[in-house]
Every structure is written in C-alpha cells, then in structure tokens.
Structure 1
C-alpha cells in the first residue's frame, strides 16, 4: 500500500508516463483494488495510444477514423477528470492531424489492419529468452538449481504474484531477472512427462487485463496474458501450443 494517498494528479501522471517506477507500482496497487478507477484509466490509456498511433501511421487510410477519434476525444475531455494528457493531445494532436488532411486533400489517418493486429508484446521475447537460459543452466553441472521458493517472499521482493503450479507439474528452478520496470521472475517447470516449460512473470510498465493468447518463436511457443500491472508467459515446445493456451487459462484463473 502506498504511504502517500493516490491523488488525481498521480493518475494523470500515470497516464502521461511521468511517474517514477516506485510511484507507478503504488498507483497500480491502488488500481488493482479499485476496479472502477482502473477501468477508466485503461480507457484513457487506450485512447491516448490510439491517438499516438493515428498521428504516427504514415499511410493509414481514411479520414473517417480521425473524425470518430476526435468525437471520442471530445467526449473524453468532457469527463469529470479532464486529464491533462488528453487535453494536450486533443488540442495539439488532432488539429495537427486535421491540418495534414487539409494540406494533403485526402491524407488518411486510420489505423491499418496490419498495425492494429499487433505483434506479441516485448515481454514474450523476454520470457522465451529466460526459458532458453534455464535450459542452458539445466545442462551445466556448476549451476545449482533452486526448486524451493516462497511465493510470498517473491511477491514481497518483486511485487509479482505467481499462480499455482499446474497439478502434476514440478518446479525445477526459480530465477530472478532484471527488467526495465523492476525484477522479473522465471520458474522452470517440468510437466507430467518431464517436458521442460517455464512460467515468466514481469511488470511491463502498463496496466491491462488481457486473456491468454499464444505465439510461436521458432521451436517454442508462449501463451501470454496480463492481469493488471503484471504480465505472464507460459513457454514450452511449439508442438504443445494449444495445450499451453489451455494451461495458461487455468493459471490465470488461479490468480483470482
């Protein structure tokens, strides 16, 4: 819990990416127990990111999306909180974009489908790299594995809550890795057949709630999702992509 109360200015700064990491964690902890506020903040973050993408997509088609976005911004600006970040983006960004339209005649600014269907977030690459590292460690006699760990201690030290280990699976090793927004955690696992998997948890610096989905990375697959300020990825063989997705659904439910 934050020692200082979370004020409106903190929420504005959070949306505007102006908080130091420790205060971001405190704001996210506050949002985690205030779902109504969390929903509004997530909506503001989405609106901010959509406008940023609109202004940076050079060949995005159609002015209709821009007009719709402007109407949504106007509605957002009428909210009680009147976020500073939206005021700046609406006053400057939209009119700059409209100026581009007037200058080009038809200069479309809608989001391309290829952009909208974004690639997996960067933490998935981190999870795959951590998994490959754990495989390397398991083959080295000099690297002692640490199968025993205290989830409460991990939570206290990293602010990352780990889901329950799938039934029938065993923990082989637990490692803490650095990341841009604090430490991340990788739990090396073996399923019932002895196949190597890993569960990776990280605070990516955003607050979102997403359902598990899967992606391939060479001979590996990852099922990834985010619950509030913490993101997770379950990594294993590419041939088990569907099974990983199902296991990730169960892990996500265990966190509630």
Structure 2
C-alpha cells in the first residue's frame, strides 16, 4: 500500500524517536519493508539509541563523569537527527564503553562460553510451533476453522503484512491468536506436494531485519525471519529442513 503522503526523511527520524501516530507508523513500516537498506540503517539507529539509554539508565554505575557527559551529548544529537550518520560509530563506542563500566562493576569481566556463543531461536518461534499444533487439532474438529483469506483485512486489523502465498498452495485455515505485543496470525497451508505447513506472523516487540534461519523442536521444523517490527515463521513436521528454508525465503522475498 502506497501512503497518501510520501515518506520523508523527517518521518524516518520521527519513527526512530517514537514520535509518530499509529497510522503513520504503519505507513513508515510498510515503506521500510520495501526498502531493506533503509530499514537496516533504521535498525542501527534504534540499536544505538537503546545502547545509549542503557548506558545512562543507572546513575550509580556509569563510570567516569566525562564518559557519561559524552553519552548524554550524543543521545541529544541523535534525538534531534543532527549529525546522525557521522556519529553512529562514535555513539556506539561511547555507549559500549559506558555499558562496559556498568557491567564490570556489577559482574566483573565478561566471558562467552561455547553454549552462549550459539544464538537461540527467538521466543516467537516457540509460539509458531504451538500455533501449528493447535491448528492441527482444529483441523480434526468439524466445528473449527476458516479458509477465508483477505490480506488487506488482516493488515488493517493487525498491522501485519502477510507474504504472497504461491498460487499453487491452498489456504485451509486462518486464525488470529493473542500475543504479548498485539494479535498474531496463523495460517494453515497445503503446498503443491500436499504437504501441510503453517505460516505464523507476529509483532515480537522489537525492530530487526533478519534473514531466514532455522530451528527444530520435538520433530517440528521451523524457518523464521523478521522484517522491521513483524516476524514470520514457516512451520512443518513433514517438510525437510532445506526445502522448508527455500519456501520461507520465497515467502520473505515476496514482502519486498
């Protein structure tokens, strides 16, 4: 959907500063979903602001006064959108130094074990697998399920953009589930080889641009990704992992 008013640089800066109303925020997110390079820069800006807030959040554990003052000045500049790009690396460095003082005072030197170095799947992947199991149960009950699929209606009701479903796939069920950061969408699908799949979409509560990754739990495969403030997971217990990843990447590309 193309917004009535074109997205300007000021809209992007207001989005980073959380100064937009809900309707304009949705328009900016739709614009970012179609412009991954700009979305990546916005994610970096949000990360820097979060690091600065962390560095300034605890007045009792902030290290040297000059480090705190530099972080405050950088945070103010970022909030105004002044010198945003040239100061990004410096801001991140100052934030990390200040955060390092805090963490060192609290916990001592940090180390990373081999287990911690492996990134676990996000919490929404577990939600997607549970939704997949619930959908399988509903399919066995004649009183449950709806195959009506209207992407525009889903977007209007949930602010979630649904990927373009391949024309050779069949939608057998569409349901809305409650979630911590707003409603989520679960769709039961059948691909051209009659393999059952579930597509799960949710707003996880944070902004990210993540390529397709994979997870497995109790024999169920999940390929997941995130674009802006919406995360997606394609789930199946009958599809092999490489094929499921290919299908997930196909759906992800349809969002750009």
Q: Structure 2 stretches of 5 or more lacking a match?
A: 56-70
> How far 1:116 moved relative to its partner?
4.2
> How far 1:159 moved relative to its partner?
1.3
CA offset digits 1:182-229 (Å, max 9, x no partner): 111111011234332111111112222211111101121000011222
CA RMSD of aligned residues (A): 4.1
Q: Partner residue of 2:246?
A: 246
Q: Partner residue of 1:97?
A: 100
> How far 1:27 moved relative to its partner?
5.9
In 2, are the aligned partners of 1:178 and 1:184 still within 8 Å (CA)? Answer: yes
In 2, are the aligned partners of 1:53 and 1:111 still within 8 Å (CA)? Answer: no
TM alignment of 1:1-256, pairs within 5 A? 6=11, 8=13, 11-13=16-18, 25=26, 28-29=29-30, 31-32=32-33, 38-47=39-48, 80-81=83-84, 90=94, 94-95=97-98, 97-98=100-101, 107-109=108-110, 112=113, 114-143=115-144, 145-237=145-237, 240-256=240-256
Given the superposition, is the C-alpha separation of residues 162 and 53 from structure 1 closer, same or farther in structure 2, using an over 3 Å criterion? same
Q: Partner residue of 2:68?
A: none
Given the superposition, is the C-alpha separation of residues 249 and 7 from structure 1 closer, same or farther in structure 2, using an over 3 Å criterion? closer
Greater CA deviation, 225-234 or 165-174? 165-174
Given the superposition, is the C-alpha separation of residues 98 and 230 from structure 1 closer, same or farther in structure 2, using an over 3 Å criterion? closer
Q: Partner residue of 2:64?
A: none
Runs of 4+ in 1 over 4 A off after TM superposition: 5-10, 19-27, 29-37, 47-54, 76-79, 110-113
Q: What is the TM-score normalised by the length of structure 2?
A: 0.69
In 2, are the aligned partners of 1:171 and 1:188 still within 8 Å (CA)? Answer: yes
In 2, are the aligned partners of 1:21 and 1:181 still within 8 Å (CA)? Answer: no
> How far 1:36 moved relative to its partner?
6.5
CA offset digits 1:89-135 (Å, max 9, x no partner): 957x744733775x79xx42365554343211111111111110000
| Whole-angstrom CA distance in 1 between matches of 2:103 and 2:203 | 37
CA offset digits 1:3-40 (Å, max 9, x no partner): 9x8485652358xxxx9988865664565577666333
In 1, are the aligned partners of 2:195 and 2:239 still within 8 Å (CA)? Answer: no
Q: Structure 1 stretches of 5 or more lacking a match?
A: 55-72
| Whole-angstrom CA distance in 2 between matches of 1:123 and 1:162 | 16
